Structure 1
Amino acid sequence: MQLTINRIDTRYVLDNEGGGPWLTFIHQLGGDHSVWDQMAGYFRERFTVLRYDLRGHGDTTVSTDAFSIDDLADDLAELLDRVGAPSTHVVGLSIGGMIAQTFAANHADRVDSLTVVGAPAFIPDDARPTFAQRAAHAREHGTTSLADATLERWMTPDFRKAHPEVVEQIGETIARTPAEGFARAAEAVSRFDMRDKLRNIDARTLVIAGEHDSGTPPAASKVIADTVPGARFETLDAAHLSPVEQSQRFSALLDSFLRNPI
């Protein structure tokens, strides 16, 4: 399904077999909504599950202007308005976790709970050039050239060896991401900093980190849990894509969090 959100033609997928509370999943940089396929299948009997493609990813058009993570959070707010969701549980992975934090701070009345996966509270000054370099590389060489190195960071060697079909699918998604869409999102990531806002988040919060995530080490994610009042912190035996690599444990952890509001 397609809607024009803040002048961007946006692809979204709605699974509402259960007709229950809204549950929104936000994907990673260089990904699309399909990374959440397994989670949608697990939760759609009890929740109204919303997935969508970020600007310049999947089947959502590329923004002609630069944007920030705040702009991407506003995209989500507009999408929720358009599909009739007054509030939602929000689960974000990587850049999706940055958007989820920002959404919880900027649109607090729309958040039933917050789950941040494989995302930091901020991008350190010494790491910002890395994202600028990835943006420049994508523009010059295309996103296919980024796939192999990205897959090595995103999944552990054992998982890549045992599940080549999953690795291939995710690699194809990276390669299909428009270079300019990837680049503009990477530049938005480079400017991300939530440190001044985290203490104001009052939504129930779960933070999940991959024990082997070299891009966003657990310590970087734990800053969120240590700052948001009452937040819970968990680690999984995975690299960056813990919902894929440890799908059963991830779904059980998220299910327990959603079922137990206290």
Structure 2
Amino acid sequence: MPQASLGPISLNYEISGHGPDLILIHELGGALDSFDGLLPLLIPHFRVLRYDQRGAGGSSRKPAALSIEDHAADLAELVAATGFGPRCLLAGVAAGAAIAVAYAARDEAVVEALALCAPALSVPPERKAYLDRRARLARCKGMAAIVEASLDRSYPEELRADRAAFEAYRERFLANDPESYAMANAALAGTRVAECLPSLTMPCLVLAGRHDLLRPPAEVEATAGAIPHARFATIESGHLMPVQAAQAMAAQIVPFLMRHAGSLKSVSESAHV
């Protein structure tokens, strides 16, 4: 898998498919592998860029204080380095949705439409305390010390009918670098990207998971209400939509993003087919 060298760091990424350019942004604790089940449903329609955020998967794991805005800046550098886009569609999952909003807020002209899936865009005080405890426990005792409590909420038992998919996700979660994972928790805890929502001008799809214990549908619907051109929908999923409900997620995001690709479609197809 190719690596993009961005100054002191490198990001692991993959580009596949043909059509309008679409960037996928994974959740906290995830990696580009989180989209393995979703990707085959997207590449007939889009040219897809998926990548490991700094500290995740095969990307650089040098511990450093990071913010959601830093992750958005990393993505901007990755897009420039790979020649992807620059105008594109974005789909972010959970904390990846926060990066998507921060990226759009940097330069709305390069984002044609947004799909925010189980978006984690703000963190109330009690949740910040939880993220801080989880980060400290990961640093002190490793990922095995937090895996069960974390997945009990993001991947509850009722969604584990496909045990192979669950076990594969659990193994990827355990493979996270504890220090990098702790930094990602701190970045989410400190985010204020929700303040950008009223200024977003592009079409936006906001998806909630009916069984999401971390971002319940009522909370996600309130998020959608803060965005001027948002459409809200609920699917049968938990917090980790690409892993738990790839078909239902694709059924929502594919027609939405295709409908709003506009001139991006003709430019992308003529350039990349």
Q: What interval of TM-score do these two structures reach, taking the shorter chain for normalisation? A: over 0.9
What is the match of residue 72 of structure 1? 71
CA RMSD, 1 decimal: 1.5
- Asked if the contact 2:139/2:179 (under 8 Å) is kept, the reply is yes
Q: Which amino acid aligns with 1:159?
A: L
Secondary structure of the structure 2 residue equivalent to 1:195: helix
In structure 2, relative to structure 1, the CA distance for the partners of 1:98 and 1:195 (3 Å cut) is closer
Secondary structure of the structure 1 residue equivalent to 2:145: helix
Q: Which amino acid aligns with 1:8?
A: I
Q: CA deviation at 1:6?
A: 4.7
- Aligned pairs, how many? 259
Q: Following the alignment from structure 2 to structure 1, what is the Cα–Cα distance between the partners of residues 127 and 149? A: 17
Q: Following the alignment from structure 1 to structure 2, what is the Cα–Cα distance between the partners of residues 31 and 242? A: 12
Q: CA deviation at 1:215?
A: 1.3
Question: RCO (CA 8 Å, sep 6+): is it higher in 1 or 2?
Answer: 2
Secondary structure of the structure 2 residue equivalent to 1:158: helix
Structure 2 gap segments, 5+ residues each: 263-273
Q: Which amino acid aligns with 2:247?
A: Q
The 5-angstrom pairing of residues 68-217 of structure 1 reads 68-84=67-83, 85-160=85-160, 162-217=161-216
Q: Following the alignment from structure 1 to structure 2, what is the Cα–Cα distance between the partners of residues 133 and 157? A: 23
Q: CA deviation at 1:110?
A: 1.6
Q: Following the alignment from structure 2 to structure 1, what is the Cα–Cα distance between the partners of residues 158 and 64? A: 40
The question of 1:57 aligning with 2:56 is answered yes
Residue identity over aligned pairs, in percent, reads 32
Q: Which amino acid aligns with 1:141?
A: K
- Asked if the contact 1:156/1:238 (under 8 Å) is kept, the reply is no
Q: Following the alignment from structure 1 to structure 2, what is the Cα–Cα distance between the partners of residues 15 and 90? A: 15
Q: Following the alignment from structure 2 to structure 1, what is the Cα–Cα distance between the partners of residues 71 and 121? A: 16
**TM-score in terms of structure 1 length:** 0.94
- Asked if the contact 1:206/1:257 (under 8 Å) is kept, the reply is yes
What is the match of residue 252 of structure 2? 253
- Asked if the contact 1:25/1:90 (under 8 Å) is kept, the reply is yes
What is the match of residue 239 of structure 2? 240
What is the match of residue 9 of structure 1? 10
Q: Which amino acid aligns with 2:9?
A: I
Moved more, 74-83 or 62-71: 62-71
Q: Following the alignment from structure 1 to structure 2, what is the Cα–Cα distance between the partners of residues 5 and 219? A: 39
Secondary structure of the structure 1 residue equivalent to 2:114: strand
Q: Which amino acid aligns with 1:13?
A: E
**CA deviation vs aligned residue, 1:25-48 (integer Å, no higher than 9, x gap):** 111111110111122211112211
Q: Following the alignment from structure 2 to structure 1, what is the Cα–Cα distance between the partners of residues 195 and 51? A: 28
Q: Following the alignment from structure 1 to structure 2, what is the Cα–Cα distance between the partners of residues 190 and 179? A: 16
What is the match of residue 30 of structure 2? 31
Q: CA deviation at 1:171?
A: 0.4
In structure 2, relative to structure 1, the CA distance for the partners of 1:65 and 1:158 (3 Å cut) is closer
Q: Which amino acid aligns with 1:142?
A: G
Secondary structure of the structure 2 residue equivalent to 1:92: strand
Q: Following the alignment from structure 1 to structure 2, what is the Cα–Cα distance between the partners of residues 120 and 37? A: 21
Q: Following the alignment from structure 2 to structure 1, what is the Cα–Cα distance between the partners of residues 54 and 4? A: 12
- Asked if the contact 1:39/1:251 (under 8 Å) is kept, the reply is yes
Q: Which amino acid aligns with 2:100?
A: A
